[in-house]
Structure 1
Amino acid sequence: MSSSEAKPHFVFPPPSPVGVPIATSVATFPVRRIFCVGRNYADHAREMGAEVDREAPFYFTKPADAVALSGATIAYPPGTQDCHYEGEFVVALGGSAFRVPPDEAMGCVFGYAAGIDLTRRDLQGAAKAKGRPWDLGKAFENSALISPITPASDFGGIGEQTLMTRVNGEVRQQARLSDMVWSVPELIAHLSRYYHLEPGDLLYTGTPAGVAAVKPGDKLSVKIEGLEELAIAIGPAE
């Protein structure tokens, strides 16, 4: 074997790939990157004291190790006294997209899932007040909760399906996917102007009104018509 063909010798083992189960399949979806859309439901923007930017969507990101799978019990996040749930519709990409128009954007979609964007609201608020990035408030371990992914062919078109978030069995969020300010093809097309989107990318499409704090012992669920339910428990802080 030539030196150019030699396998790299890492100084310590590289991290294992992050995967999400696929509904009705033994296969696993490998996660590459996580993009999240901010203020994509007008009622949530208003409850946060903000307005929807109707000129263009905006985004923040989470690392792949933010993923936590349905059925898990996760520790209450460190460094916060005000962690909030945000139930979301998640789009999983199975193809490449770069500068695609909206009418071609859905060609790269693999499937969909129910998700929760956990947010350290106190840290996010402090960052906003100083005009700083939201990373400490948004991009942390176990902050991108997700159900098994349902292939797009088993879901059908995105429209009037209901998204419902429950905390300890009580409905806290309820909206239709059609309530999103920016549709999924519009989001993919816009994001593809700035990134080479690739298989394994996840897109959390925003949350409706009704977000609130969680505490250790809470049980969270998100159900979207046609998709596997997401169920997560919040354990004690580490």
Structure 2
Amino acid sequence: MASSKPLARFWEWGKNIVCVGRNYAEHAQEMKTAVPSEPVFFLKPSSAYVREGCPIIRPYYCRNLHHEVELGVVIGKRAQEVPKEAAMDHVAGYALCLDMTARDTQEQCKKKGLPWTLAKGFSTSCPVSDFVPKEKIPDPHQLKIWLKVNGELRQEGDTSVMIFSIPYIISYISRIITLEEGDVILTGSPKGVSAVQGNDEIEAGIQGVLSMRFKVEEQK
């Protein structure tokens, strides 16, 4: 049965944002962390979404806010213990996402052995583009994603070099967390993450598909 919900507006009702970390070897290296042998993932609340036209807000406790541009996979139907071979049947489409990270806070959490919620889950920490139906991207493993800050290219990567493929990621996560229609998986960021300040403008895109712009503001 077709969903009665407008899937193109997944950010309004999707339950889970599941973020895969260190899925590009060069990003793992720049963060001085080991390349993982299994997917590493964490969650953002759905309130982290922010749409173009609204600002990214740097939280009051953060002095080192970083951008991470990522391909997002939008789930189209419930996925629980899905085999890798059937995983793409559960994909409705894609979106470009930013995993905004309070890097200084993340480092403090790591040192104290604490969860990353303060660093990764604050409001506006997941800027998201328009929905792109699956049919418009025949091979999500052959995409170039990029990000500029104030017109300067900071990140550029190719999804062909992701360590873990999208089917593998969906299968792996669905054995642990049941994915629901409208959920989004962020598939990891290429190298080049760096800091942004208040009044900076971030522009990011999937080459030949779409782009988006966001301003950064300070929390008052």
**TM-score normalised by structure 1 residue count:** 0.86
SS at match of 2:188: coil
- Structure 2 contact 65–100 (Cα < 8 Å) conserved: yes
- Contact 1:115–1:230 (8 Å) recurs in 2: no
2:58 equivalent among 67, 76, 79: 76
Task: Report what 1:165 is aligned to.
Answer: 147
Q: Give the paired residue count.
A: 214
**Of 220-229 and 35-44, the range deviating more from structure 2:** 220-229
Gaps in structure 1 of 5+ consecutive residues: 1-18, 23-27
1:53 aligns with 2:36: yes
Residue 75 (structure 1) shift: 2.7
Cα distance between partner residues in 2 of 1:195 and 1:74: 28
Instruction: Pick one of 129, 133, 142 that aligns with 2:124.
Output: 142
**1:7 equivalent in structure 2:** none
Q: Deviations over 1:110-162 (max 9, x none)?
A: 11011100000011001111222111111110001100010101221122211
Work out whether residues 56 and 127 of structure 2, in 8 Å CA contact, stay in contact via their aligned partners in 1.
no
Compared CA separation, residues 164 and 150, structure 1 to 2 (3 A): same
**Percent identity of equivalent pairs:** 37
SS in 1 for 2:138: coil
Q: CA deviation at 1:52?
A: 1.1
Secondary structure at 1:229 match in 2: strand
CA distance, structure 2, for counterparts of residue 69 and residue 157 of structure 1: 25
Paired position in structure 1 for 2:23: 40
Q: 1:72 to 1:63 in 2, by over 3 A?
A: same
Partner amino acid, structure 1, of 2:35? V
Q: 1:74 deviation in Å?
A: 3.0
Separation in 1 of the partners of 2:56 and 2:41?
A: 25
1:177 to 153, 159, 166: 159
Which AA in structure 2 matches 1:221?
E
Give SS of 1:99's match: coil
Q: How far, CA to CA, are the matches of 1:124 and 1:66 in structure 2?
A: 16
Q: Distance in 2 between matches of 1:52 and 1:46?
A: 8
The aligned runs of 1:1-238 (5 Å cut-off) are 22=8, 28-29=9-10, 30-54=13-37, 56-238=38-220
Computing the radius of gyration from Cα coordinates, the structure with the larger value is 1
Q: Distance in 2 between matches of 1:145 and 1:21?
A: 17
- 1:124 and 1:35 map into 2 onto residues whose CA distance is 17
Structure 2: tracts of 5 or more residues without a match: none
Does the 8 Å CA contact 1:105/1:185 hold for their aligned counterparts? yes
In the TM superposition, what is the alpha-carbon distance from 1:196 to its structure 2 partner? 1.5
Partners of 2:127 and 2:153 lie apart in 1 by: 18
Aligned letter for 1:97? A
C-alpha distance in structure 2 between counterparts of 1:176 and 1:185, whole Å: 17
Structure 1 position 53, deviation (Å): 1.1
Per the normalisation by structure 2, the TM-score is 0.93
| Contact map agreement 1:114 1:227 (CA 8 A) in 2 | no
For residue 235 of structure 1, report the CA deviation from its aligned partner. Answer: 1.9
